[in-house]
């Protein structure tokens, strides 16, 4: 269900509204009067916070007043369609979504100037032209995934883009829908980590995604480019609907060769093929360390995992497509070195040729026998499609008659465990 847009007939109430330049003027005036509007010292041991050229101020000095110290007023501002910005020593500032094409970026810049803080999206749909570029120690929050929506405008724009010269650590995203520029036009990537070319590399760390709902993106939904490696990032619930990544590598596309200790709780997606006419693969990994609790898909989902290198641990895969432009050659493809562990796979609908495909000198994989409910596996459950690593053993907890070996030197690197041992009890 789409978020409910605020009524155009809503009643407006008097409240503080502020643009970036007006905010700085107010902060200076308050400090010279002996009461700092910002509060605290705003110190940052790594140097001064990033700043952002604000262009034209979206508020006049006559409309700016200090906010009262009450959470009720802040909620009232959000209920009336304003963004609410909270920073160190700051009761709150209401940032109007009218009069500026980039109100959300304005609010993030505002709290960053105070050393960090939170920005709250109002109920309904808020538009921002172009990608958001988070600062370190800032958070963007909504009132729920079907309540607050952030609509990115501008053809080809990314949604949230990590590309600052200064490392954007401790960013939080939670409780809103991140919607692309449109169902029919070109889009960028919903969440995009970009190599900014700095030396030393400023890899973002400690990103926290709570509940985030991505819609109407026609590229990857989450991409880590080569040359940048986010680490220690935690994603509790990431959902992607009405997205078409058919011409991209996958909805979640980890192109970097590094990035340790990254965790995804639940990944849920119902992709569409209406832009490219192709399946959307779900997870591509070229390196790094990824742990995933569950991946559950419907729509026109294709291959669920394509791991070329790195470490990957997945608790459960649930495959239940509603339509298949083509039948995936495999549900999980494992290649290269690095431990891979798939605890459970369920083929609940649709067809796949094989569940597990091992290729490209794969090694250190641990695979468990899948469950086929209403779905169908047309070939062997495990297919060895190329030579495996001769010294790195892989293990399949199933039967030997479920494995087909093709184009292999038959080094014995895949060990079938389902028939090993002696049954007792």
Is residue 15 domain-resident?
Answer: yes
Mean pLDDT throughout 209-227? Answer: 97
Question: What confidence category does residue 36 fall into, taking pLDDT thresholds of 50, 70 and 90?
Answer: very low
Residue range of the domain that includes 237: 125-138+151-416
Contact present, 149 and 176 (Cβ < 8 Å):
yes
pLDDT tens figures, 239-258: 999 999 999 999 999 999 99
Residues 58 and 187 in one domain: no
Residues 56 and 195 in one domain: no
Residues 119 and 268 in one domain: no
pLDDT at 87 over 70: yes
Is residue 102 domain-resident?
Answer: yes
Is residue 309 domain-resident?
Answer: yes
Is residue 17 domain-resident?
Answer: yes
Per DSSP, helices labelled H in 362-422 are none
Q: What is the number of residues in the chain?
A: 425
The residues that bridge with 129 in the sheet, in sequence order, are: 153
Mean pLDDT throughout 56-82? Answer: 54
Residues 313 and 182 in one domain: yes
CB 260: neighbour CB atoms within 10 A? 14
pLDDT tens figures, 267-325: 999 999 999 999 999 999 999 999 999 999 999 999 999 999 999 999 999 999 999 99
Residues 102 and 165 in one domain: no
CA distances to 15, 19, 50 from 108, in Å: 19, 11, 11
Residues 14 and 132 in one domain: no
CB 147: neighbour CB atoms within 10 A? 16
Residues 85 and 132 in one domain: no
pLDDT at 71 over 70: no
pLDDT at 129 over 90: yes
Per DSSP, helices labelled H in 215-284 are none
Residues 280 and 328 in one domain: yes
DSSP 418: T
The residues that bridge with 312 in the sheet, in sequence order, are: 290, 340
Is residue 269 domain-resident?
Answer: yes
Flag the least confident range among 13-22, 87-96, 155-164, 372-381.
13-22
pLDDT of residue 17: 47
Average pLDDT, the chain: 83
Question: What confidence category does residue 331 fall into, taking pLDDT thresholds of 50, 70 and 90?
Answer: very high
Residues 25 and 156 in one domain: no
pLDDT tens figures, 395-416: 999 999 999 998 766 668 899 9
Number of structural domains, the chain? 2
Per DSSP, helices labelled H in 162-294 are none
Residues 29 and 117 in one domain: yes
Residue 106 token pair: 């304005």
Is residue 144 domain-resident?
Answer: no
pLDDT of residue 198: 76
Residues 63 and 164 in one domain: no
pLDDT at 117 over 70: yes
CA distance 336 to 420: 26
- Residue 231's nearest CA partner among 285, 301, 308, 170 is 170
pLDDT of residue 425: 67
Residues 363 and 331 in one domain: yes
Is residue 365 domain-resident?
Answer: yes
DSSP string for residues in 200-231: S----B--EEEEEEEES-SS-SEEE-TT---B
Is residue 422 domain-resident?
Answer: no
């Amino acid at each position: 269900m789409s978020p409910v847009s605020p009524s155009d007939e809503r009643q407006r109430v008097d409240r503080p509204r502020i643009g970036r330049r007006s905010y700085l003027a107010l902060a200076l005036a308050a400090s010279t009067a002996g009461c700092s509007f910002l509060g605290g010292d705003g110190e940052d041991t790594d140097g001064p916070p990033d700043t952002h050229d604000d262009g034209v101020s979206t508020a006049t000095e006559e409309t700016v007043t200090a906010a009262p110290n009450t959470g009720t007023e802040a909620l009232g501002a959000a209920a009336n369609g304003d963004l609410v910005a909270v920073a160190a020593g700051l009761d709150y500032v209401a940032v109007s979504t009218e009069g500026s094409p980039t109100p959300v970026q304005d609010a993030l810049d505002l709290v960053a100037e105070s050393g960090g803080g939170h920005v709250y999206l109002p109920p309904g749909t808020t538009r921002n032209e172009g990608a958001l570029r988070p600062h370190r120690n800032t958070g963007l929050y909504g009132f729920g995934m079907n309540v607050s929506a952030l609509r990115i405008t501008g053809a080809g724009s990314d949604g949230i883009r990590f590309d600052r010269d200064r490392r954007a650590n401790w960013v939080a995203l939670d409780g809103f829908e991140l919607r692309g520029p449109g169902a029919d036009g070109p889009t960028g990537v919903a969440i995009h980590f970009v190599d900014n070319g700095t030396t030393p590399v400023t890899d973002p760390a400690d990103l926290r995604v709570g509940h985030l709902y991505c819609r109407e993106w026609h590229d990857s939904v989450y991409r880590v480019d080569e040359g940048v490696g986010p680490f220690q990032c935690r994603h509790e619930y990431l959902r992607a609907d009405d997205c078409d990544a058919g011409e991209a590598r996958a909805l979640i596309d980890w192109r970097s060769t590094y990035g340790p200790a990254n965790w995804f709780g639940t990944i849920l997606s119902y992709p569409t093929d209406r832009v490219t006419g192709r399946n959307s693969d779900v997870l591509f990994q070229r390196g790094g360390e990824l742990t995933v609790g569950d991946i559950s898909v419907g729509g026109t989902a294709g291959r669920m995992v394509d791991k070329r290198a790195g470490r990957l641990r997945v608790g459960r895969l649930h495959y239940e497509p509603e339509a298949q432009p083509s039948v995936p050659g495999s549900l999980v493809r494992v290649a290269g070195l690095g431990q891979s562990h798939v605890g459970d796979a369920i083929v609940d609908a649709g067809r796949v040729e094989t569940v597990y495909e091992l290729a490209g000198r794969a090694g250190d994989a641990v695979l468990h026998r899948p469950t086929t409910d209403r779905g169908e596996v047309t070939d062997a459950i495990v297919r060895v499609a190329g030579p495996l690593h001769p010294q790195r053993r892989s293990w399949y907890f199933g039967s030997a008659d479920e494995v087909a070996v093709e184009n292999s030197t038959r080094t014995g690197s895949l060990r079938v465990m389902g028939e090993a041992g002696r049954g007792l009890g």
